[in-house]
Amino acid sequence: MHRMTEQKHGFWFHFLDVLLNIVVIVAIVAGIRTFLVSPFQVEGNSMVDTLEDKEYIIINKLAYILGQPKRGDVVVFRPPNDPSKFYVKRVIGMPGDKVLIKDGFISIEQPGQQDFQQLDEKSYLDPQNLGRTYRHPPSSGDTSPVEYDIPADKYFVMGDNRGGSLDSRSFMVNGEPEPFVPRSDIKGRVWIVALPITKIHALEVPSYAK
């Protein structure tokens, strides 16, 4: 009888130990996904050639817990036109910037400046997209100027496939343009392309010409 009691106690001790380990592992994984990194799958071709359809990416959430998005970051966010989804685009305009789309190029007037400076996008736009950034609709070929004044704590985002991207140029809410993404809706910076294995690499933030 004494031996059976010891065995029973041993079973429950082992069971609770396994259960506790499972709980700890689940909590660690949940914490990592919530605060550090998280996987996503790219859908569509709006970021070609930087990201391609069906690629798996890892986003760095900690980067925006400790800091703020930077111009050129490729980010995952909830778009104002459909907050139930996640989009992946590149940050082009920062809070307080003025963004000018004209003659196929983007120019930025930063806070405190008195003129627009053309953004150097050669490091991430392929020849089919460089010099072919148009106003809404993105595939229109309309080179007439359009300007955006970005409010505080909001961002202007665009896909690298400029003629095939639903982005800040096109976001609409209740039939009205809503081009800016609130800081709170940006979930993380794309850190690594994880799959397919043949394309594993880390994304670099472009170094814009001064």
pLDDT in tens, 130-173: 999 999 999 989 999 999 999 999 999 999 999 999 999 999 99
Q: Is 46 a catalytic residue?
A: yes
Q: Phi then psi for 14, rounded to 5 degrees?
A: -65, -40
pLDDT at 37: 55
CB 129 within 8 A of CB 162: yes
* Residue 81 contacts residue 172 (beta carbons within 8 Å): yes
pTM over the 0.75 mark: yes
Determine the pLDDT at residue 18.
61
Catalytic residue among 38, 89, 154, 165: 89
User: Is 89 assigned a catalytic role?
Assistant: yes
CA 21 to chain centre: 34
